[in-house]
Chain A
């Protein structure tokens, strides 16, 4: 096993613009790192660069202590699980899993033992004689993972491996991947556009946008302390609510929305001192759906209260999503499902001032 280090990594196709810019990630041995971002952000390209399937335009890539920029894919000792599994249709499950070992010239008996061990681990022993076309998506997915496991590589790469599965199976497989990571105790790099997968699987998440790293941190830190508005909007479901406005400090510290409909007294806001420096400047206020509540906590002064017209109500069973308009934005509040909420009446809601986020409207960087 080994760590993977990306130093100032860059990629351009045929002298075109850079699609990956100055990416620095230090992945520790045995760490599970998730690369996440919207489609086109360069996450798959980055993974393919690590795998050796794409050339590296600039910077350095290390696997363990070895610089591997020019090392061919076959010599990087890496295994990859592809989005479409890439199982050879003319081979049985056993042959698919044994292929890499056979190419390496391992003795037949050892190949059999390794394949059977991996098959037991993934509970696919009964499928070894089947062809990929005779299996379900979930089974193929396991075989693809099995093919990676048998080689016992230094690093595992996963390229959106769950995106072809239905929602229920995705949930199950997420848990199994976590288990697998614990059992194999291996370095894993996982690409997804699904922030739920990122949050649940990663020891650390790297958020990418247009080839740049926006933030890298543990899932909870990303969620609670997003470094910029992009990360705040991307991580979390439903996404964070945003409202543009400005800071007024000519009396008590206040946030005033751009349309002037909303003024929030921020004298109780924990980082009030930092905000003062932004007096008169445009900022964006952010608040997560679960931090807008129906009842205030014991300290009512730490809440901002507002009566809002309800646009739509979604009863999820465990919780209720309430949609309401605020100036040009549509806000979402995640409320307890204990009390029914009529869709046609205004609703009194309490915003937890301690959970407000502010971002510089120009740079989108979080004000902390």
Chain B
């Protein structure tokens, strides 16, 4: 008998009792869905880790050390610090560079004729979204190519300084004694998120080319990006650099050096996920086992209900092997259907849960997950279907037809 015919026969038999078939599948669905969900989330955490440790092509990793000054004015690093780091950690640190932020820069700013104040400043490399501009003009590409000393200020700042926000347009603005002209007023974007480095969260926005050329950001900074040599433990090396800076840094008495070890945090999450995966897998394993017993039970009932059918098939020339395959295939079809439904359900579930996990983790469903769902459900079908199928195949034909 051809395998296609066997499949068709199995399908027809299962269709006779759809409710029973579905109920039997539920255990498999739950078991597989649970496993797929947890694996998808675990994969998500791992891919997030990989993305965070932006490993370069040569296998190097980068880390960042921040400086928080006590008075808010002093820069934490100068050129000497960088040279010293590169020299003292030769072989471990490939390079040390300033990593000055583009948002949240605190700087002394004088707007129009008012007194100088400390404001939150952002630098940009391209114009803002046009819909954020509420008065005046946006930056243009020319602003950047020609390095025009133009500035945008927030609606809040404009309101504070002028009666009418449009009066701010054309006013002079001084940062580090460099003269900018206010060309527009913007409103903070609705989705403003400090973490996402949205420039509109600050009060003043200036073009990066102009700002960088006129400040000492090239020789000073509050953040240093370290490129760690291949094969080194990035986290350990960075911690040593921090210790070195605390002893020898140019600003060691004026603030603190911080290294936020995102890697170790993610590793902890990953470890937690591994434990959770193990735990959920154990539960899913029990669920699949019980589901398997359910399949076995249903198949035994099916075999005894269909004794006549088995007899007929044997009488007209089916071999015991044909009968065995028919019932085994029914069991497998049942569990694999359950496995595939469970796979899809797990996929949805993982995506749904990922929304509520902090750290912007996405569920990642891979081909391996699919193969796992497929393989496990097939295995359950075979393991728990073989005994009833054998019972069917070994039925005594004479007894049945009597």
Q: Do A and B bind each other?
A: no
Which residues of B does A touch, CB under 8 Å? none
Which residues of A does B touch, CB under 8 Å? none
